[in-house]
Structure formats: structure tokens, C-alpha cells
């Protein structure tokens, strides 16, 4: 039989169960694009000192509602997403401005017998999911675009954690974000009652953090490590700090800002002071830096009262004037000039409150020690005030002679500075006069 000129092919018997393997289908263009997007979104984290991130995690640990203020595109949403992932909390994002007031206060549901059972307020589905999960991070985004009616409905959610008839469990944390009214889309001022329920943090970008993050490594958000042995002392310290300041400055207990725009930010009230006390206790137990505590305190009661509280905290650690008067030779004075000045002023006031020859002499000895261990100009004002307390039958102590030189030198320097300033002002006035005559 002649051989066929066609190439022979292998055929599969018709009764065979085996089928040829299908050829792998090529990836679609969208599949390839998806792989590239996955690579772009892959990023790692690293431990890094970040004051605003530490302040945020500290407030979250304290279970206080936090409001992040920042310009659009600054990374507020990304920070919250990363925080939820780092803390292994499911993130629920709610855009307040696209919801109705009933979405937060609850939707009325008429039952079989309203006269007997009433009309319950049913919560939205996202709230039910949060309760079922038992833990999570509720992110209220674009808060400054919510109209006043929606802000009023949010009051109970933020403070009491209630949505209709449903109460959120303790494992839910609330964080919000807002743009300033000038840069918000159809923005509104935050109402004073709602603003007073938040810890306000100004969210700004750090150039190095952005560069490292775009390179694939962002700061890692971790909850603060609280020292179990510091818990009780931290609470005592926080209570003494807040109660001591408010006892001395009762006008700070409640101060609603006069300017309408400032009412949408942090301001002092009994509620915000309670939050401040809580934050001081957490920061103390965690050993947080002063800058972190400053962000939290000023973000709760405002810049003015917050700075007064920080100064009060500094003075709480100052030595007792009575102990210094008891042993002036062995007194340990603060290194910082402002704190040393406060200590010396406190000693003079202690002598003024209970004048006695031995106490007066001890105060002079303490001023000499301050002169030997610090800046001489710090003893000028206390020495002048202490000299004014002298009684007629009190002899001038020998220590005064050692201080006299410093006081005299300081006064001469002050007079020289005054003369130099007056001379400079006269010369400036003369130049202005010459210029005016030349222009005629």
C-alpha cells in the first residue's frame, strides 16, 4: 500500500474516557493590571516615633471619641485604615453627610400593638453588624459636611454609644475625620455640643513619613504599653493635676468661646475636663512624651487652658518650699530657668505667709545657693521681694553681700538695655524725620 503523503495524527478512540488537556487561557489585560495594582498597594510597616499617631492610639485606648482635623488628601482615612489593621479591628466607615438623622437616631418601626409595646427605633444595618462583631472601629468620615440636623442626631451616638434602641458594646471605638470649613465640600461649622464630645487632633503630614510610606514602609500603629504598677499613681496624679488647677482657676471649669468659629473646636467644660483627666492618667501610665500629652490636652480643652494645665503639671513636680527652707544648703533646684524661678518665688511667698527670722535667713541662704548653681539674673526678683519682708529688728544676713553684686549688675544691665533701646528709638525717629523733610 502506498504511503500517504499527509502527516499522520494520533486519534483518540471514540469510546475512551480521557480528553485532551485544555490549553491554559491567557491572562486578560485587566488581570495583569490587577497584579500591578496588588504590587503597588503592598506596603510594610516599621516602628517609628510619630507624636500624632501616638496621641491617636492613646485616645483610642482610653475609649474617647477622636476627631482628626486636616486638609483634604493629608492621609486621615489612610491612617485610620492602617490603625484598624494594626489593631486587628474591623473597620466600619460611615459618611455622615450622606445619611439622614433617622439613620443615627433610629427608624421607627410600628409593631402589632403600638399602644402596648410602643414604637421601637430600629438601628441601621451597619450598627447591627458592629454589635454582632462585638468589637471594631467606627469611622465617621467627612463630619464637617454633615448638616446641623445630622450633627444633632450624632450626639447620642458619640456620647452614649446608642443608635436607636441599640447600644454599642465596649469594644467599639469611635474616630471621626473632618476638613476645615474653608476646604470642605459644602462644609458646616461643627456644633458646640458635638465638638465638646471629641478629642480634637490636628492631622498634618510629615515629609519623611510620606517619603518612606510611598517607598513602601509606613509607621506602625500600636496601642500604648501601660505599666501595671503605675496605674493607681497615674490616676492620683491626674486627679491632683486637674482638680488643683480648677481649684486655683475656677473660671476654667466652663468657658464657651465667644467666637463662633472656635466653638466647633476644643473648649473647656466639665465633660472635656473629665476626658483630660483620663488622658493624663493614660499618658502617665504609658510614659508618653510631653509633646504627645500636649497634643491631647490642648485638643480636649483648647490651647489656652491646655497650656495652663501643662504649666501646672510642671509645678506639681517642684520641691516643697517648706522642705527647701528646712535645708537650704542641701536643696536641689530645677535646672530649667522658668521652673527655678517658680521655686524661688514660691519660697519668698512661703516666708511672706509665715514671716519668721529663721525662715527669712534660710531663704537668703537658698538664694545664695541658686546664685552658685544657676543664672544670676534669676535671683534678682526674689531677692528684691525678700528684702522688702525685713522687719526692723532683723539683722541683715551676711549672705546679702554675696547677692548684692549680682543684683547691682543685673540692674545696671537693665538700665543699659533701656538706654540702648531709647537711643535706637531716637535714631529711628531722626531718620524718619530726615526722610520726611527730604520728600518735600
In a domain, 92, yes or no: yes
- Domain end point (choices 249, 282, 316): 316
Q: Looking at the structure, tell me whether residues 385 and 370 fall in a common domain.
A: yes
Q: What DSSP character marks residue 121?
A: E
Q: What DSSP character marks residue 348?
A: H
In a domain, 143, yes or no: yes
In a domain, 439, yes or no: no
Q: Looking at the structure, tell me whether residues 56 and 162 fall in a common domain.
A: yes
- Per the model's pLDDT, the better-predicted residue between 23 and 339 turns out to be 339
> Which CATH number is 208's domain given?
3.40.50.300
| pLDDT value for 302 | 95
Q: What is the pLDDT of residues 401-422, one digit of tens each?
A: 667 665 554 444 344 445 555 5
Whole-number Å distance between alpha carbons of 48 and 45: 9
The top-scoring range by mean pLDDT among 20-34, 388-402, 418-432 is 388-402
| pLDDT value for 424 | 56
How many domains are there within the chain?
3
Task: Indicate whether 16 pLDDT > 80.
Answer: no
Q: What is the pLDDT of residues 54-95, one digit of tens each?
A: 999 999 999 999 999 988 888 888 888 888 888 888 999 998
Collapsed DSSP state (helix, strand, coil) of residue 45: strand
Whole-number Å distance between alpha carbons of 367 and 371: 6
Q: What is the pLDDT of residues 189-213, one digit of tens each?
A: 888 999 999 999 999 888 888 888 8
Position 219 confidence tier, pLDDT thresholds 50, 70, 90: confident
In a domain, 212, yes or no: yes
Q: What is the pLDDT of residues 244-254, one digit of tens each?
A: 889 888 899 99
Please return the burial class of 398, using the count of CB atoms within 10 Å of its CB with bins 0-12, 13-18 and 19+.
exposed
- Per the model's pLDDT, the better-predicted residue between 348 and 8 turns out to be 348
Q: Looking at the structure, tell me whether residues 195 and 136 fall in a common domain.
A: yes
| pLDDT value for 408 | 53
In the chain, % of residues over pLDDT 90: 30
Provide the residue count of the chain: 440
Q: Give mean pLDDT, residues 251-279.
A: 93
Q: Looking at the structure, tell me whether residues 233 and 299 fall in a common domain.
A: yes
Q: Looking at the structure, tell me whether residues 155 and 240 fall in a common domain.
A: no
Q: Looking at the structure, tell me whether residues 191 and 298 fall in a common domain.
A: no
pTM of structure: 0.71
For 212-227, what is the HEC assignment? HHHCCEEECCCCCCCC
Q: Looking at the structure, tell me whether residues 326 and 377 fall in a common domain.
A: yes
Please, what's the b/e burial string for 177-215 (b: 16 or more CB within 10 A of its CB; e: otherwise)?
A: bbbeeeebeebbbbbbbbbbbbbbbebeebeebeebbee
- Structural domain including 297 reads 228-316
Rounded to whole angstroms, the maximal C-alpha distance in the chain is 149
Amino acid at each position: 500500500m502506498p504511503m500517504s503523503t499527509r502527516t499522520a495524527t494520533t486519534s483518540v478512540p471514540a469510546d475512551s474516557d480521557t480528553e485532551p488537556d485544555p490549553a491554559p487561557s491567557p491572562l486578560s489585560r485587566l488581570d495583569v493590571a490587577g497584579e500591578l495594582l496588588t504590587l503597588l498597594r503592598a506596603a510594610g510597616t516599621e516602628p517609628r516615633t510619630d507624636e500624632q499617631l501616638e496621641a491617636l492610639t492613646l485616645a483610642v485606648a482610653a475609649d474617647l471619641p477622636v476627631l482628626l482635623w486636616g486638609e483634604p488628601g493629608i492621609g486621615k482615612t489612610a491612617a485610620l485604615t492602617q490603625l484598624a489593621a494594626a489593631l486587628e479591628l474591623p473597620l466600619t466607615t460611615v459618611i455622615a453627610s450622606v445619611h439622614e438623622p433617622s439613620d443615627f437616631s433610629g427608624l421607627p418601626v410600628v409593631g402589632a400593638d403600638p399602644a402596648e409595646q410602643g414604637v421601637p427605633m430600629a438601628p441601621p444595618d451597619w450598627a447591627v453588624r458592629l454589635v454582632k462583631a462585638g468589637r471594631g472601629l467606627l469611622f465617621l468620615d467627612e463630619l464637617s459636611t454633615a448638616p446641623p440636623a445630622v450633627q444633632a442626631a450624632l450626639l447620642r451616638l458619640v456620647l452614649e454609644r446608642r443608635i436607636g434602641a441599640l447600644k454599642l458594646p465596649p469594644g467599639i471605638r469611635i474616630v471621626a475625620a473632618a476638613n476645615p470649613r474653608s476646604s470642605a465640600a459644602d462644609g458646616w461649622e461643627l456644633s458646640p455640643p458635638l465638638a465638646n464630645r471629641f478629642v480634637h487632633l490636628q492631622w498634618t503630614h510629615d515629609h519623611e513619613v510620606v517619603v518612606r510610606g510611598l517607598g513602601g514602609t509606613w509607621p506602625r500603629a500600636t496601642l500604648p504599653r501601660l505599666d501595671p504598677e503605675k496605674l493607681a499613681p497615674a490616676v492620683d496624679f491626674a486627679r491632683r493635676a486637674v482638680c488643683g488647677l480648677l481649684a486655683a482657676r475656677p473660671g476654667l471649669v466652663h468657658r464657651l468661646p465667644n467666637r463662633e468659629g472656635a466653638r466647633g473646636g476644643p473648649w473647656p467644660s466639665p465633660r472635656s475636663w473629665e476626658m483630660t483627666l483620663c488622658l493624663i492618667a493614660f499618658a502617665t501610665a504609658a510614659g508618653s512624651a510631653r509633646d504627645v500629652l500636649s497634643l491631647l490636652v490642648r485638643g480636649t480643652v483648647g490651647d489656652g487652658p491646655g497650656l495652663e494645665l501643662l504649666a501646672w503639671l510642671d509645678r506639681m513636680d517642684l520641691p516643697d518650699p517648706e522642705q527647701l527652707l528646712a535645708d537650704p544648703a542641701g536643696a536641689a533646684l530645677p535646672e530649667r530657668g522658668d521652673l527655678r524661678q517658680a521655686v524661688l518665688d514660691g519660697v519668698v511667698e512661703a516666708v511672706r505667709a509665715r514671716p519668721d527670722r529663721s525662715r527669712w535667713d534660710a531663704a537668703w541662704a537658698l538664694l545664695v545657693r541658686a546664685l552658685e548653681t544657676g543664672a544670676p539674673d534669676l535671683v534678682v526678683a526674689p531677692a528684691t521681694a525678700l528684702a522688702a519682708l525685713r522687719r526692723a529688728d532683723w539683722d541683715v544676713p551676711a549672705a546679702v553681700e554675696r547677692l548684692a553684686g549680682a543684683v547691682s549688675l543685673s540692674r545696671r544691665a537693665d538700665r543699659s538695655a533701656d538706654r540702648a533701646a531709647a537711643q535706637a528709638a531716637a535714631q529711628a525717629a531722626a531718620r524718619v524725620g530726615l526722610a520726611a523733610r527730604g520728600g518735600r
